[in-house]
């Protein structure tokens, strides 16, 4: 029986390379060949605009049983930061393993290969090492004229056997089943909707359906897989079937009690209603979101998160049913944080804590579950970590650090800072009008704003021990001059000077 299993494994895995070679070595009688187990699969799950509004992060309003169950089987990274708080730059960084300032693209419109044409992306590296790589939904930012990164994937189809053409962005755009016509010159319809429909009538349900089909396909093929599942929620518009709204009693939600920008922050550090103002009926410019609107938006964000959580739960249940879980590494990441009116900010597009902090949960065979770590980590760390866990070689270009030592010892000493960027006044089609370079240390957030020629225009400093909500910029106070100078030196020394102690 044992022999038969081995033979079948060999036949099904042969094309994958690694095991095939080992099996052949055994046949050839190589005495020193280390026994290789079946390559570990990767389930790579993204949730768009997900802040840690999750039960496992201690959020009192969240209803996220499936993500919480994943956390019970994995490690929750409580102090994890994106490298830029907007979709494409964050995802480009995570998927290439390079930081935004290395790639030199800070906007949504520019394809990363225009700056780093030959970079080997995370899925591409797995593809080159015997994995079948596929994705359903949004992994790369395929909107704003950006297209899918073809070299990353073995298949571009949303379902196995489906047409391999890349779905145009318009087909994937998040929307209610019948999007209302935007009114009043707005680009988007209403910011919330609660249609009384089945889960699979909306995009994330369809994405889960596609992911389930892919898992069934991979179970049949027996080949190692890297499957990207990119959920579109809780990104605006906050659309979820009515039942997910009904799960949450609206009375529990309260608007933020602090809706003014940090005192003495430069005006370009904040965006106010920003992205929300592109939705029908929402305030514009300096107009404020009313309490009633705020509660409805917060309710929508939590309902959309519960909806996404349920779809993720369906995918993980199928992974269990197919017997694939014990050999599959699961990583869940939001692409950046989100602000729900705190400090007057809606959405992301800044360098503050709520926009740059985003969840990361890793559940991998051979590592303990139910762990949490407060160590500072960055999304750029995912690439080397997934390589180390699976045994796929790490390319030389990576700018992150494998967090595998934290999976083994969550309380160990780690990075002294995490880094994020936000271009001054935003960036469009490659044009940048100055930069905000931010650094999060265990206690402080420091940001240097500059012109394009690197002349400083402003500094920000927040002390989370005394000011957890970033209400007062200390950098303008003379008594903090020494600390500002110290932080400036550390920021300029950059990520290479903030690596974990050996």
Give me the active site residues, please. Answer: 87, 141
The answer to whether residue 49 forms part of the interface with Ca ion (CB under 5 A) is yes
DSSP state of 397: T
Q: Which of 54, 66, 60, 103 is nearest to 357 (CA)?
A: 54
Structure tokens at 290: 């009313």
- In contact, 63 and 55? CB cutoff 8 Å: yes
Distance CA 250, CA 362 (A): 32
- Residue 87 binds Ca ion (CB under 5 A): yes
Smallest gap, in angstroms, from Cβ of residue 95 to Ca ion? 13
Distance, C-alpha 366 to centroid of its chain: 24
Site membership for Ca ion, residue 213 (CB under 5 A): no
Alpha-carbon torsion (145, 94, 79, 362), positive or negative = positive
Q: Which is nearer to Ca ion, 365 or 426 (CB)?
A: 426
Q: Find the residue with minimal CB distance to Ca ion.
A: 87
- Residue closer to Ca ion by CB (options 213, 275) is 275
Q: Which of 401, 421, 398 is nearest to 413 (CA)?
A: 401
> Residue 422 is encoded by which pair of tokens?
């936000």
Any contact of residue 142 with Ca ion (CB under 5 A)?
A: no
Smallest gap from Cβ 234 to Ca ion, in A, equals: 10
The interface region with Ca ion, picked from 81-89, 197-205, 320-328, 390-398 by CB under 5 A, is 81-89
CA-to-CA distance for 78 and 57, rounded, in angstroms?
A: 7
Q: Does 237 bind Ca ion (CB under 5 A)?
A: no
> Pick from 19, 41, 48, 52: which binds Ca ion (CB under 5 A)?
48
Stretch that binds Ca ion, among 40-48, 146-154, 306-314, 457-465 (CB under 5 A): 40-48
User: 169 to each of 13, 140, 141, 147, how far by Cα in Å?
Assistant: 35, 11, 9, 8
338 with 355: CB under 8 angstroms? yes
Least distance between Ca ion and beta carbon 454 (Å): 28
Number of neighbours of residue 382 by Cβ within 10 angstroms: 24
454: left (phi over 0), alpha (psi -120 to 50) or beta: left
Give whichever of 277 and 358 is closer to Ca ion, judged by the CB atom.
Answer: 358
Shortest distance in whole angstroms from residue 7 CB to Ca ion: 47
Nearer to Ca ion, 107 or 335 (CB): 335
For the CB of residue 47, give the shortest distance to Ca ion in the complex, in Å: 9
- When the beta carbons of 309 and 335 are compared against Ca ion, the nearer one is 335
Residue 335 engages Ca ion in binding (rule: CB under 5 A) = yes
Q: In angstroms, give the least distance from the CB of 383 to Ca ion.
A: 19
What secondary structure letter does DSSP report for 182?
P
Q: Output 48 or 78, the one with its CB closest to Ca ion.
A: 48
Half-sphere exposure at residue 374, Cβ-oriented, CA atoms within 13 angstroms: 5
Comparing CB distances to Ca ion, the nearer of 295 and 354 is 354
377-396 residues near Ca ion, rule: CB under 5 A: none
Length of the chain: 502
What is the size of the binding site for Ca ion (CB under 5 A)?
Answer: 4
Per DSSP bridges, beta strands 444-450 and 456-463 are: antiparallel
Q: Which two tokens stand for residue 484?
A: 């500002």
* C-alpha dist (Å) from residue 424 to 85, 106, 334, 338, 452: 13, 10, 23, 19, 9
If the CB atoms of residues 91 and 415 are measured against Ca ion, the closer one turns out to be 91
Query: Taking CB under 5 A as the rule, does residue 158 contact Ca ion?
Result: no
Minimum CB separation of residue 83 from Ca ion in Å reads 13
CB of 288 to Ca ion, least distance (A): 24
Rg of the chain over Cα atoms, rounded to whole angstroms, equals: 23
The first and second tokens of residue 286, run together, are 């300096």
| Site map 304..323 versus Ca ion, x via CB under 5 A | --------------------
The binding site for Ca ion (CB under 5 A) comprises: 48-49, 87, 335
């Amino acid at each position: 029986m044992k022999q038969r299993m081995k033979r079948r494994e060999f036949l099904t895995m042969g094309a994958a390379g690694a095991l095939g070679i080992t099996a052949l070595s055994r046949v050839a009688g190589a005495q020193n060949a280390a026994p290789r187990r079946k390559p570990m699969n990767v389930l790579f799950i993204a949730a768009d605009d997900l802040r840690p509004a999750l039960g496992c992060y201690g959020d009192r309003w969240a209803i996220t049983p499936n993500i919480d169950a994943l956390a019970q089987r994995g490690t929750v990274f409580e102090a994890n930061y994106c490298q830029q708080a907007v979709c494409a730059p964050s995802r480009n960084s995570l998927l290439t393993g390079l930081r935004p300032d290395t790639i030199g693209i800070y906007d949504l419109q520019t394809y990363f290969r225009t700056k780093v044409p030959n970079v080997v992306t995370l899925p591409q590296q797995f593809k080159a090492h015997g994995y079948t790589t596929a994705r359903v939904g949004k992994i790369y930012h395929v909107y704003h004229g950006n297209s899918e990164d073809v070299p990353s994937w073995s298949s571009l189809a949303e379902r196995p056997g489906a047409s391999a053409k890349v779905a145009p962005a318009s087909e994937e755009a998040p929307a209610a089943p019948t999007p209302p016509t935007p009114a009043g010159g707005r680009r988007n319809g209403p910011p919330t909707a609660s249609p009384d429909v089945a889960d699979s009538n909306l995009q994330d349900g369809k994405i889960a359906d596609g992911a389930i089909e892919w898992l069934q396909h991979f179970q049949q093929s027996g080949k190692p897989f890297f499957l990207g599942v990119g959920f579109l929620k809780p990104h605006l518009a906050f659309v979820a079937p009515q039942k997910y709204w009904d799960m949450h009693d609206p009375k529990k939600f309260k608007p933020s009690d602090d809706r003014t920008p940090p005192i003495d922050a430069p005006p370009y550090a904040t965006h106010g209603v920003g992205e929300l103002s592109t939705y029908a009926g929402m305030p514009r410019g300096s107009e404020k979101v009313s309490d009633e609107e705020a509660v409805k938006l917060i309710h929508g964000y939590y309902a959309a998160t519960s909806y996404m959580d349920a779809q993720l739960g369906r995918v993980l249940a199928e992974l269990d049913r197919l017997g694939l879980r014990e050999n599959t590494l699961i990583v869940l990441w939001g692409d950046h944080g989100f602000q729900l009116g705190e400090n007057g900010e809606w959405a992301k597009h800044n360098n503050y804590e709520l926009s740059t902090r985003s969840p990361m949960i890793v559940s991998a065979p051979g590592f303990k579950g139910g762990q949490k770590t407060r160590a500072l980590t960055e999304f750029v760390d995912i690439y080397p970590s997934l390589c180390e866990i699976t045994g796929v070689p790490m390319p030389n270009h990576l700018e992150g650090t494998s967090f595998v030592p934290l999976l083994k010892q969550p309380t160990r000493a780690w990075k002294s800072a995490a880094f994020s960027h936000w271009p001054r006044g935003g960036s469009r089609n490659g044009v940048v009008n100055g930069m905000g370079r931010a650094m999060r240390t265990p206690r402080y957030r420091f940001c240097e704003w500059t012109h394009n020629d690197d002349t400083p225009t402003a500094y920000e400093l927040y002390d989370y021990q005394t000011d957890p909500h970033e209400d007062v910029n200390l950098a303008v106070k003379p008594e903090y001059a020494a600390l500002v100078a110290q932080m400036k030196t550390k920021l300029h020394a950059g990520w290479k000077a903030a690596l974990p102690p050996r």
